[in-house]
Amino acid sequence: MNLSIKIINKEGKVLADHSNMNEVNLVYQNAYQEGDRIVITSSEKDTYLNVQVDDAFGSAFIYVTKHEITYHIPFAEKKVSYSPKAFCGNLHLLWVRAASKEEIVSYKNLALNVMDQHEADGYYPHTIANVETRGESVFASRNAIDGVRENHSHGPWPYQSWGINRQDDAKMKLEFGRKVIIDKIILYTRADFPHDNWWKEVSFLFSDGSSKVWELEKSDQAHVLQFEKQEVEWLEFYNLIKADDPSPFPALTQIEVYGTEAGVNL
Percent of the chain scored above 90 by pLDDT?
A: 98
| pLDDT computed for residue 266 by the predictor | 64
Interstrand relation of 68-72 and 199-206 (parallel, antiparallel or unpaired): unpaired
pTM of the model: 0.96
The residues spanned by each domain of the chain are 2-99, 123-261
- What is the separation of C-alpha 154 from the centre of its chain, rounded to a whole number of angstroms? 18
* C-alpha to C-alpha distance for 177 and 183, rounded to whole angstroms: 18
Partners of residue 226 on adjacent β-strands: 184
- Strands, E assignment, 75-192: 92-98, 108-109, 123-124, 126-129, 162-163, 172-189
Percent of the chain scored above 70 by pLDDT?
A: 99
For the segment 142-155, the average pLDDT, to the nearest whole number, is 98
pLDDT in tens, 8-55: 999 999 999 999 999 999 999 999 999 999 999 999 999 999 999 999
- Closest C-alpha among 251, 258, 226 to residue 237: 251
Sign of the C-alpha dihedral computed for residues 177, 18, 102 and 187 taken in this order: negative
* C-alpha to C-alpha distance for 48 and 65, rounded to whole angstroms: 9
102: which residues sit within 8 A by CB, 6+ positions away?
none
**CATH level 3 topology of 123-261:** Jelly Rolls (2.60.120)
* C-alpha to C-alpha distance for 133 and 164, rounded to whole angstroms: 5
Q: How many CB atoms lie within 10 A of CB 250?
A: 24
* C-alpha to C-alpha distance for 113 and 144, rounded to whole angstroms: 9
- Closest C-alpha among 1, 10, 79 to residue 44: 1
